[in-house]
Structure 1
Amino acid sequence: MTYSRSEHIEMVNMCMVYNPETQEVIVEDKTDVDWKFGHTFPGGHVEKGESLSDAIIREVYEETGITVSNLEMCGTVEWNSDDPAYRRIGFLYRTSSFSGEITEHPIDKEGKVFWMKLADLNRENTADSFMEMLEIFTNPTVVDATSPVMNGSLTLQNAKNTKLV
């Protein structure tokens, strides 16, 4: 029996830009999505031939006007699709190293961007599955989340590959 280990993959990213002095994060109010509108962190697609780190630096700048550095990868999130068959893999980063001010960018038509207290993020004001992703950004023992369907609910896993409720 032979099978292919290849599959179509869409690579995306997201970054939690955190200001430890104010305990705020940069959020974007997503208004151009197929899922529930709400707060999320800046991010987007990794372009063909682009490195993961270059992609997240570019995406954060395009959406916010902020330049980030000293990125720390905190985990991944994956959604799967059978029709058509492919996987979307999200690479999640965080940083407290940034420069610049939030500006309106003509490239960004995805929603308003602003600073918000990290503690004020909740299920009611965030995009679908964002609170599960927030666990990956803020809890060092949670490293992965997966869904068997595209844009579906996520199941968290810790570093020991134990599923978390």
Structure 2
Amino acid sequence: MKRVDVAYVLLFDEQHEKVLMVKNKGANSSYYTLPGGAVEAGETLEEAAIREVKEETGVDIEIGGLSTVSEAFFEERGHHALFFTFTGKIVGGKIEILFPDEIEEIKWMEIDEAETYMYIPEKLNGYVKTNISIPYILRGNVIDKG
């Protein structure tokens, strides 16, 4: 199994009622996720999160702390994936689809609905609304602007 790290970012609207989600074009069907994607060789989690959000949504962000860490095995791909979900804040750019071959839609989604696409276990329903995070530490520097 190949280890794959994925960085996602949880971005709230100004009223803290909706989360920014992207609809990815899949091989068989489209699906919603938080903006984010695979960490490339030589890239930090922070760099990957910022790059992926820009590529998928057109916005510039700052990341805060880590909201969740989860993992999954994708037998068909031979991947063991670790998902690092950061909190974040939009600091510039404008929402637009830059890669229409990959992204079908960008949507502000109600938090309760977004949680269903984020694979938050039922016993943690409402967790996203808390906006709890722990510090992300990069070589001794704490990166948590949230």
Q: Which residue of 2 aligns with 1:42?
A: 35
For residue 14 of structure 1, what is the aligned residue in structure 2?
Answer: 8
State which of 19, 24, 29 in structure 1 corresponds to 2:23: 29
- Over the aligned positions, Cα root-mean-square deviation in angstroms equals 3.3
Distance 1:78 1:72 in 2: 18
Amino acid at match of 1:90: F
- Runs of 4 or more consecutive aligned structure 1 residues displaced over 4 Å after TM superposition: 81-86, 133-143
Q: Distance in 2 between matches of 1:106 and 1:142?
A: 30
CA contact (8 A) 1:14 1:41 kept: yes
Do 2:65 and 2:133's aligned partners in 1 also have CA atoms closer than 8 Å? no
State which structure, 1 or 2, has the greater radius of gyration over its C-alpha atoms. Answer: 1
Give the share of equivalent positions with the same residue, in percent. 21
Residues 1:110 and 2:103 are matched in the alignment:
yes
Specify which structure has the bigger relative contact order, considering alpha-carbon pairs within 8 angstroms and separated by 6 or more residues. 2
More strand by share: 2
List gaps (5 residues or longer) in structure 2: 135-146
Q: Distance in 2 between matches of 1:18 and 1:61?
A: 16
How many residue pairs end up in the alignment?
A: 131
* Counterpart residue identity of residue 24, structure 2: K
**Alpha-carbon distance, 1:95 to partner:** 1.7
Distance in 2 of aligned mates of 1:116 and 1:84: 29
CA distance in 1, matches of 2:129, 2:30: 22
TM-score by length of 2: 0.70
Q: Does structure 2 retain, via aligned residues, the 8 Å contact 1:92–1:137?
A: no
Q: What TM-score, normalized by structure 1, do the two folds share?
A: 0.63
Quick check: 1:121 aligned with 2:114?
yes
